[in-house]
Amino acid sequence: CPSSPKHPSTPSEKCGVLNVTKITENGKKVRKSWTSSWTVLQGSTLLFAKGQTSSSSWSYYRNGSFPELLLSLLSNWKRSVKPRPAVSYKHFGRGQPCSFGGNQSKPEFTVDLRGGSVEWASKDKSSKKHVIELKTRQGTELLIQSEIDSVITDWYKALTEAINTHAWE
């Protein structure tokens, strides 16, 4: 996974934990419900899995994203959630392919990026910082957010590139 600085900033595959909510589905407004989701970008598809609160540290560790790892460990500790046991770094080193392995084998939902658009959300869309607004051709609108500026900036670039690359498919 390309969280490491060694990877290009706009890879064809990218993963990480993001906060996400739908605001419109098939053209109809829906109630916001922010969820922490394991998020995978694969080509023109964006996949989300729910419920990452206790395993996000593991995901960050596996993918070598240490600022996020520290933040998630801190937030897990605050929730008094036991962190997962340490596992050999050799076994799950940097650069692991992004996936929905183990209990993440089925995405909660997927988004087709072809014909979609991405922009920074205006303040009337959310009071949160670092929010991306993603619109699909099918009339679904999502807000995607991370507390970490560099993380959300990388996602903005990756999503923009994916949309541009697959626009005419």
Name the nearest CA neighbour of 54 among 39, 33, 72, 69: 72
Figure out which of the listed residues 26, 88, 122, 127 binds ligand I3S, where binding follows CB under 6 A: 127
Contact 36, 19 (CB under 8 A): yes
- For strands 141-145 and 13-25, give the pairing: antiparallel
Residues 11-70 that bind ligand I3S (CB under 6 A): 32, 34
CB 27 to ligand I3S: min, Å: 18
Q: What is the rounded CA–CA span in Å between residue 18 and residue 141?
A: 16
By beta-carbon proximity to ligand I3S, the closer residue of 34 and 77 is 34
Does 103 participate in binding ligand I3S (rule CB under 6 A)? no
Does 88 participate in binding ligand I3S (rule CB under 6 A)? no
Contacts of 135 (CB under 8 A, 6+ apart): 116, 117, 118, 141
β-strand partners of 38 = 17, 49
The residue count for binding ligand I3S (CB under 6 A) is: 5
Contacting range for ligand I3S; rule: CB under 6 A; set: 54-62, 88-96, 106-114, 126-134: 126-134
Contacts with ligand I3S by CB under 6 A lie at 32, 34, 126-128
